[in-house]
Amino acid sequence: MISQIFLKIPKPMQTDIWAHLLPKRFTVEEAAFLFVRRESEEKVEFFSYVDCIPIPAKGFLSRSAFHFELTDETRAVVIKHAHDLGTSLVEFHSHRGRWPAEFSSSDVLGFQEFVPHVWWRLKGHPYAAVVLSRSGFDGLVWNTGPDTPQRLNGIVVGESVLTPTGLTSLERWVL
C-alpha cells in the first residue's frame, strides 16, 4: 500500500510555474496543468514531470480573485494532451493574498465536476491538484478513484522537498 505521494518537478520548470502562477502583481487566479508519469518505489509514489501547459488569459471562461472557470476548449486540449502522452494531470492554480494555501469552497465545487470527468476520459489515470499562494502550497491526489482524495506529501525540486501546508480538510472532500 502506498503511504506517501510526491510530485517531482525539475528546478527550471518549478521556477517557470511559480512565475506564471504568482506574478508580481496579480488580481485574478492563474492556472497551469502539468502532465506527469506515475512511478512507485516501495511505499512511495512519485508523479514525475513530463510537460506543462500554462493557461493563458484566453483559456478562461471567467476568473476573479477567488474563482476561475476554464473554457470547454481549454479543458479538451488539456485532457487530449494527457491522453496523447499517456500521463496523469496535475492542476496548479494560485490564490491571492499572503495567508497559507488551502483549497477553497469554490475549488471543492469545481473538483466535484471535473475530477470524475477526467478519470473517465483518461481511463483511471490519477488526478492531482495544487493550490499555490505566496506563502506556500497545499495539494491533493485522487490516486485510487475520483471520490477519494489523499494528501500530496511534497514536491521534490532537485534535491529539495517542498512541504505542503496540509490545511485542506479531507472531510470536506466527499465527492
CATH at 123? 3.40.140.10
25 or 15, greater pLDDT: 15
Q: How many domains does the chain have?
A: 1
- Examine residue 172 and state whether it is found in any structural domain, yes or no: no
Query: Would you say residue 131 lies in a domain?
Result: yes
User: For residue 172, what pLDDT is reported?
Assistant: 62
The answer to whether residue 173 sits within a structural domain is no
Helix (H, G, I), strand (E, B) or coil at 10: coil
Would you say residue 79 lies in a domain? yes
- pLDDT of 60-96, one tens digit each? 999 998 889 999 999 999 999 999 999 999 999 999 8
pLDDT single digits (tens) 105-162: 889 888 989 999 999 999 999 999 999 999 999 999 999 999 889 999 999 999 999 9
Q: Is residue 174 part of a domain?
A: no
Burial of 77 (0-12, 13-18, 19+ CB in 10 A): middle
Pull the grid cell for residue 139. 495539494
Identify the domain containing residue 102 by its residue range. 4-167
- Please give the C-alpha separations between residue 159 and each of 12, 15, 66, in angstroms, as whole numbers: 13, 15, 33
Residue 101 lies in a domain: yes
Q: Is residue 175 part of a domain?
A: no
* Secondary structure letter of residue 58 according to DSSP: G
pLDDT for 25:
87
Q: What is the pLDDT of residue 19?
A: 96
In this predicted structure, what is the pLDDT of residue 175? 44
Cα dihedral angle (165, 170, 171, 172), rounded to 10 degrees? 80
Does the pTM exceed 0.85?
yes
